[in-house]
Amino acid sequence: MKMFNRKILHYDAFSSTANQGNPAGVVLSADDLNEDQMQSIAKKVGFNETVFVLNSKKADLKLKYFTPGHEINLCGHATIASMYGLKTMGLLEDKDFITIETNVGNLPITFERRNGELLITMKQGNPQFVPFGGSTSELAKSMGLSPDAIDLSKPIVYGSTGAWTLLVPIKGLDHFNRMKPDNRMFPGILKENPKSSVHPFCRDTFDDHAMMHARHFSSPYSGTLEDPVTGTASGVMGAYYLTYLNKDAAAAEFVVEQGQEINKDGRVYVRVKRHDEVMDVFISGTGVFVKEFDVPYA
């Protein structure tokens, strides 16, 4: 079997400091790869997500996202990482607005300079929520917590703006360092959506400028354990805020912090707005180039 090498660009999203935020592998000009090859490359890269940039007949370009275990429909941090790379390499010319084709449809991307940083904003899919009907004590146990750590005054729900996660309200920051997830338990507990990830969050924060703190534990099917800073789930948190915590507000804008417990400090800027019967959900963040390397594939 003939082997080839593929160049991987390593960018970190949601931080301007290398090796903070959330790493993503970015593969440019990927039209010659089939999905099996993409999956093989993503497994060898080993990051939570690797994104492949392709030509599109429907948008400015097309993105396909793979965990080490399977393809996913949308990934916030890999989108931010790839857009940061394309923009800073001059491959998007001087455009401040483009559209990307994804498995959840065409999504708009905007670029702006704010406080000296390149900030990328992506629109996410229309939010959906499904109630969690499983055991809260088993859910707590799967995260290494006692049942009283979960804040039952707020709903536990599956949410999606393109990728499903279970939002779990936690009573305070002190519980987050104690979390020791057993990801293998998740499918048996998440009976409504066994492949969902788990996203515990609270309203306490380390950073006074942030409004929510979170961690993100991966589905065991993904091939990874924890996502350091999660764009799609942060967008879901924005929609959750308007749906369950501030039902009268027309819009909200706030910062989500994530990654502190695993030394991957990052920030996601979240903006949500009610629009007729749906919500417009946007996340923003910056990125940083770390390194490039090659991986073999067949």
- Of 35, 49, 101, 112, catalytic: 49
**DSSP string covering the chain:** ---EEEEEEEEEES-SSTTSSEEEEEE-S-TT--HHHHHHHHHHH-SS-EEEEE--SSSSEEEEEE-SS-EES--HHHHHHHHHHHHHTTTTTT-SEEEEEETTEEEEEEEEEETTEEEEEEE-PPPEEEE--S-HHHHHHHTT--GGGB-TTS--EEEESSSEEEEEEBS-GGGTTT----GGGHHHH-TT-TT-EEEEEES--SSTT-SEEE--BPPGGGT-SB-SS-HHHHHHHHHHIIIII-TT-SEEEEEEEE-GGGT--EEEEEEEEEETTEEEEEEEE-EEEEEEEEEEE-
49 is catalytic: yes
- Active-site residue numbers? 49
